[in-house]
Amino acid sequence: MQLHGDDRETKARTNRLFGESSPYLLQHAHNPVEWYPWGEESLQKAKSENRPIFLSIGYSACHWCHVMAHESFEDEEIAKIMNENFINIKVDREERPDIDDIYQRVSQLAIGTGGWPLSVFLTPDQKPFYVGTYFPKYGRYGMPGFGTILSQLAEAYKTKKQEITSATAEFLQALEHSAKDVQQPHGVILDRSILDEAAVGLLHMSDPVYGGFGQAPKFPNPSNLLFLLRCYDISGLNRYKDFVMFTADKMAAGGIHDQIGGGFARYSTDQKWLVPHFEKMLYDNALLVQVYAELYQISGDEKYLDVVEKTLEYVRREMMSPENGFYSAQDADSEGEEGKFYVWSKQEIFNSLGDETIASIFCEYYGVGQAGNFEGKNILNIRSSFADLSLRFSRPPEMLKRIIKDASSRLFEIREKRIKPGRDDKILTAWNGLMISGFAKGFRVTNNKHYLEIAKNTIEFIESRVTGNNGRLYRTFKDGISKLNAYLDDYAFYVNALLDVFELDSNPIYLEKAIKYTDFMLQHFWDPVDRTLYFTSDDHEQLIVRTKSLYDLAIPSGNSVAASDLLRLYHLTQKNDYLEKAEQIMKAGATSSAENPFGFGQLLMAIYLYVKKPIEITVRTTDNIGEGQKMARWISKQFMPNAITVIVENQSQLSQLQEYPFLSGTNSAKTNQTDYAVICRDFTCSVPIYSLSSLQEQIKSV
């Protein structure tokens, strides 16, 4: 491609983002805006020159971030105003969720909403005095133009110091109050009534027509769906399971699900899951794999298994690095257009498939029309059942399934030749933890050993490339470099992943690492006053507040995942401190989770595990065909969300694990046989169980 003069000049011009690793920051490295990364240089410059800071927070796959960049940050006139009046700082919210969390709270306090791009104006000491999200270049629909805002705020900072000081004081007072985001528990009892109240409340928020929660935009909210499945388990009430199945079916059939390539987009812009915001995030796909895997465990319906396998294949194909880490996201845009990679014209499908009847069947199944359903093109979404297609085209359903599968494969091959959306290739520890758990869950329901190998390889990558000394994890890895001390999410999600893999592979190293990182987390993140965990460690960069949260946002709450980790580790180690701190976290959020369950799915899952109490199952197996292996495979395919399972495959593992209390039942088992299981609950263990049928009977009775 030849560059014209202006393009060459733009490419040649760089700002201080040019040396950064974040793909989002690098997207702005050639802007005429004199951007700085967040750091000592930019913050000191603001202080020494007494200039306000314009803080812009976003992420690489964010569509409206791109729009604001093209409209304003690439505009010479806007850049001139910014450069003359502000110290302009860009932050990748995925690399620095601590900074994002603070100023998203400010946005919520100021305008009642948040999101990205987040646009915040700060005093040189980081105190906010004006906040918004996306601003158009020119005013429209009651929104002021960005240039106007810049000029007015630059003038206000010079001439209205009193108003600025007053605004920052109000923000800081409210921010201090919101930063803890926890309640002091008074006489809270962790019992089933919390779960029942929350589950009923969630169903009241549900959409009975299209599934999910609320209207539009609509997010999958996998933590809430997983919690409702646990309510089904503890109550036996089908309505909870049925709602999750209904929602999962609607999502799987909708445009939010990439019908031919696998994977899910971040959210749907409409109520019925048709038109996605096309970006794909690693964390959504990791969590949704677990939803569909559990639905398969409950129902045995192969359609849920298909979604699991398609999603994991998408992640393996598009999101795995050569080092075995997982990349963060794929963009919504390609060639400057949102969704261009994913949509089809009807004529394109007919031309691609050749056979008119096959193309007609495909178009009928996926709702493809001449006019399209998205800007003149078609987002594939399932609109017909195979029974209906069979009546219309006089072919048996099994034949039609093969036709759809073959046609989809053909279109996938053609789509692969298109220019793909941009990919954010930084590797985040927390999100990798979620995806390790996703592959571990995939192994449970498929017995595809490749999935377990991927999970173990990613752990090996993190241990070798994304860790420091003294139990320290780093947040992000890119281009061979790890940096930024890890946050609570990184520790909690990664410990959860280590425990998930340990249950399947019982290599003592996974349990030892989980204990090591948990102890580090408790040492450096624990607040002994509120008895919950801060988002940042005690030796982290000092920001204007140190936040904590029990509330699930785009990803689950680190405190809530940590509570589950601590419960599991207590049952594996019998270390009372783990149980006490888990109870304290759960009590801090119990009242809020019952009264306003929408943001507390993850905490409610921890409370479920505590209330129902885990059953501990140890299986000894020595080969791939013996009774031990049969028991291990059967257990993995069961929906038992309160089970802590350890599958021990060799004698060396068994001897290394004998120091841990969870093996006490196995140790005391008087048996000469090598394949057996032991079930423990409430510190009481069964006699050795030698057959699958006996195990099944025992499980029914606990």
Largest CA distance in the chain: 86
- Of 132, 60, 63, 129, the C-alpha closest to 91 is 60
In this model, does residue 256 exceed pLDDT 50? yes
Task: Answer yes or no: do 406 and 485 share one domain.
Answer: no
Q: Is residue 185 part of a domain?
A: no
CATH at residue 561: 1.50.10.10
Last residue of a domain, one of 180, 208, 238: 180
pLDDT for the residue 666: 58
Write down the residue that tokens 């705020």 correspond to: 153
- Whole-Å CA distances, 198 to 221, 231, 233, 241, 589: 15, 9, 15, 15, 12
Q: Is residue 187 part of a domain?
A: no
- Whole-Å CA distances, 639 to 30, 292, 396, 605, 700: 52, 12, 33, 14, 12
Task: Answer yes or no: do 211 and 299 share one domain.
Answer: yes
In this model, does residue 1 exceed pLDDT 70? no
- Of 555, 448, 428, 452, the C-alpha closest to 510 is 452
Q: Is residue 650 part of a domain?
A: yes
Q: What is the pLDDT of residues 48-103, one digit of tens each?
A: 999 999 999 999 988 889 999 999 999 999 999 999 999 999 999 999 999 999 99
Q: Strand, coil or helix: what is 645? A: strand
Token digits of residue 183? 């309640």
- Of 546, 544, 614, the C-alpha closest to 579 is 614
Last residue of a domain, one of 385, 417, 449: 417
State the Cα–Cα distance between residues 451 and 678, nearest whole angstrom: 26
Q: Is residue 186 part of a domain?
A: no
* Mean pLDDT, residues 413-431 taken together: 97
Q: What is the pLDDT of residues 265-320, one digit of tens each?
A: 999 999 999 999 999 999 999 999 999 999 999 999 999 999 999 999 999 999 99
pTM, two decimals, is 0.95
8 Å CB contact between 585 and 549: no
CA angle 324, 485, 602 (to 5 degrees): 75
pLDDT for the residue 480: 94
CATH at residue 671: 3.40.30
Q: What is the pLDDT of residues 330-356, one digit of tens each?
A: 999 889 899 999 999 999 999 999 999
pLDDT for the residue 655: 80
State the Cα–Cα distance between residues 206 and 62, nearest whole angstrom: 27
Residue 511: count other Cβ atoms within 10 Å of its Cβ: 23
Last residue of a domain, one of 562, 591, 612: 612
One DSSP character per residue, 161-175 reads HHHHHHHHHHHHHHH
Q: Is residue 207 part of a domain?
A: yes
What's the domain count of the chain?
Answer: 4
Task: Answer yes or no: do 454 and 549 share one domain.
Answer: yes
Per-residue confidence at 3, pLDDT binned at 50, 70, 90? very low
Contacts of 402 (CB under 8 A, 6+ apart): none
Task: Answer yes or no: do 632 and 523 share one domain.
Answer: no
* Mean pLDDT, residues 512-526 taken together: 97
pLDDT for the residue 667: 54
Task: Answer yes or no: do 386 and 457 share one domain.
Answer: no
Task: Answer yes or no: do 647 and 500 share one domain.
Answer: no
8 Å CB contact between 293 and 441: yes
Per-residue confidence at 186, pLDDT binned at 50, 70, 90? confident
- Of 642, 620, 647, 557, the C-alpha closest to 593 is 557
Q: Is residue 18 part of a domain?
A: yes
Residues of the chain with pLDDT > 90: what percent? 84
Specify which residues 391 forms β-bridges with: none
Does 665 or 451 have the greater pLDDT score?
A: 451
Task: Answer yes or no: do 365 and 290 share one domain.
Answer: no
pLDDT for the residue 183: 67
Task: Answer yes or no: do 165 and 212 share one domain.
Answer: no
State the Cα–Cα distance between residues 178 and 170, nearest whole angstrom: 12
State the Cα–Cα distance between residues 179 and 127, nearest whole angstrom: 14
Write down the residue that tokens 């423990």 correspond to: 680
In this model, does residue 325 exceed pLDDT 80? yes
pLDDT for the residue 591: 93
3-state helix, strand, coil in the chain (%, to 5): 55, 15, 35
In this model, does residue 464 exceed pLDDT 50? yes
Domain ranges, residue 400: 342-417
Q: Is residue 435 part of a domain?
A: yes
Per-residue confidence at 606, pLDDT binned at 50, 70, 90? very high
State the Cα–Cα distance between residues 18 and 29, nearest whole angstrom: 5
Average pLDDT score over the chain? 93
pLDDT for the residue 126: 96
In this model, does residue 6 exceed pLDDT 50? no
8 Å CB contact between 28 and 82: no
pLDDT for the residue 672: 67
When mean pLDDT is compared across 131-145, 234-248, 477-491, the lowest value belongs to 131-145
Per-residue confidence at 652, pLDDT binned at 50, 70, 90? confident
**Number of H-type helices and E-type strands within the chain:** 28, 21
Q: What is the pLDDT of residues 380-389, one digit of tens each?
A: 999 999 999 9
Residue 175: count other Cβ atoms within 10 Å of its Cβ: 20
Residues of the chain with pLDDT > 70: what percent? 96
Q: Is residue 158 part of a domain?
A: yes
State the Cα–Cα distance between residues 535 and 521, nearest whole angstrom: 10
In this model, does residue 452 exceed pLDDT 50? yes
Task: Answer yes or no: do 411 and 524 share one domain.
Answer: no
Strand residues in 479-523 grouped as ranges (E): 481-485
Token digits of residue 147? 């240039």
Per-residue confidence at 4, pLDDT binned at 50, 70, 90? very low
Task: Answer yes or no: do 397 and 440 share one domain.
Answer: no
- Of 296, 285, 302, the C-alpha closest to 244 is 296
8 Å CB contact between 521 and 533: yes
- Whole-Å CA distances, 645 to 106, 164, 243, 290, 694: 43, 58, 28, 17, 17
State the Cα–Cα distance between residues 221 and 288, nearest whole angstrom: 9
Task: Answer yes or no: do 650 and 673 share one domain.
Answer: yes
Task: Answer yes or no: do 297 and 429 share one domain.
Answer: yes
